[in-house]
Amino acid sequence: MFATILKKVYQQLLLLVVVAVVLLAAYVSAGRQFMPAISRYASFLEDQIQQSTGIPVSVESLTGSFSGFNPVVQIDGLQLAVSEELPRSALRFASAKIIVDMPRSVWQRRWVLEEFVIESLAIDISQNTDGSWQLTGVNAAGGGDPVDLNSLYQTFLSFTRLDLTDVGINVLTRSGDRLSLVNGVATFQNQGDNHFLHVNANLEGNAEQLAFSFEVQGDALDEVSGTFHISVPNSDYSRLFAEQDLGQVAIESIQGGGQAWLNLENGEVLSVNIELEVPGVTVSVLDGQPLRLDNLQGKAKLARGMTRDH
């Protein structure tokens, strides 16, 4: 009796394994046949990216292949914020590769990317006449921010790892001055509940690197806890402050650098630590004579207490 039951269980398990192997083979075979046809779905990908980021996009071409059990999509000539009303793009990159992690996607019932590598990304940030900043080519109705930052954050959480290479950032002030960051490298990585964003780039003409890191826990921006750090190399930032509205103070020239750390908890800033080293700055107050200050150094710490209901 027991042997008969054991034999039937064995037969059922064997049948289940055979069916699983057949289905897996059918999936891989169908996938390999389908992936070359993905080139016809560029408009679908554009719609998906726009739904995730809130920014219109344009894709020149798509090609598909398979790596093991995972589909691979190669994107060429993608531009964000491109439309008839927005002729200038805000983000441009030559190519990108997306690998979908199918086992995790099936398990989590959402798209999970094993790898997302972007090459030659260019970002343009411009200042409006009212002093606000925006990605060039993005124009929000009523002057608001068209990008839902929390939705964008959720999009990043779907990546196991996102790598960007050869990143260039151009900052254009309302006075017409330009500040450029070149040779940028960025990595966004998710490991369970831990999320990391690390960025390194060079100011054009400066060998020292600007470093930026964002290491947090939390699945929504208003819930994140962790640290934010930025290190700015010593350089001439006069162009960035030219004609900026700083109340009764105007910065005519500034040379310096520094670091800042922000501690976050539940989406709120708990403390700020700042270190500054400014070899020279020239300021004027109330249209008076310029005042030159040299060799300024200092540290500052700001913190606030928070009460919680337990």
- The verdict on residue 106 lying in a domain is yes
143, 240: one domain:
no
Q: Which of 41-45, 47-51, 94-98, 245-249 has the lowest mean pLDDT?
A: 47-51
184, 217: one domain:
no
184, 67: one domain:
yes
310, 224: one domain:
yes
- The verdict on residue 21 lying in a domain is no
- Of 189, 182, 185, the closest CA to residue 199 belongs to 185
Look at residue 258 in the predicted model and tell me its pLDDT.
95
In this prediction, residues 225-246 reach a mean pLDDT of 87
52, 175: one domain:
yes
- The verdict on residue 235 lying in a domain is yes
- 203 burial (CB, 10 Å; 0-12 / 13-18 / 19+) is buried
| Residue with tokens 């700015």, as numbered in its chain | 232
- The verdict on residue 11 lying in a domain is no
- The verdict on residue 123 lying in a domain is yes
185, 130: one domain:
yes
54, 166: one domain:
yes
Q: Give the 3-state secondary structure of 141-198.
A: HHHCCCCCHHHHHHHHHCECEEEEEEEEEEEECCCCCEEEEEEEEEEEEEECCEEEEE
Instruction: Answer yes or no: is pLDDT of 211 > 50.
Output: yes
- Of 188, 162, 191, the closest CA to residue 96 belongs to 162
Among 130, 157, 191, the domain boundary falls at 191
- The verdict on residue 3 lying in a domain is no
Q: What is the pLDDT of residues 99-132, one digit of tens each?
A: 878 777 777 776 677 777 777 777 888 888 887 7
- 286 burial (CB, 10 Å; 0-12 / 13-18 / 19+) is exposed
Q: What is the pLDDT of residues 136-173, one digit of tens each?
A: 654 443 444 445 667 667 767 767 777 888 888 888 88
- 108 burial (CB, 10 Å; 0-12 / 13-18 / 19+) is exposed
Quote the mean pLDDT of the chain. 77
Q: Write phi, then psi, for 138 (nearest 5 degrees).
A: -100, 125
> 112 is in which domain, residue-wise?
39-191
237, 127: one domain:
no
Instruction: Answer yes or no: is pLDDT of 40 > 70.
Output: yes
Please, are residues 277 and 257 in contact by the beta-carbon 8 Å criterion?
yes
In this prediction, residues 11-19 reach a mean pLDDT of 59
Instruction: Answer yes or no: is pLDDT of 273 > 80.
Output: yes
- The verdict on residue 198 lying in a domain is no
147, 47: one domain:
yes
The reply to whether the predicted model has a pTM over 0.85 is: no
Q: Write phi, then psi, for 20 (nearest 5 degrees).
A: -60, -40
How many domains does the chain contain in total?
Answer: 2
- Of 75, 73, 76, the closest CA to residue 34 belongs to 73
- The verdict on residue 253 lying in a domain is yes
Among 126, 160, 191, the domain boundary falls at 191
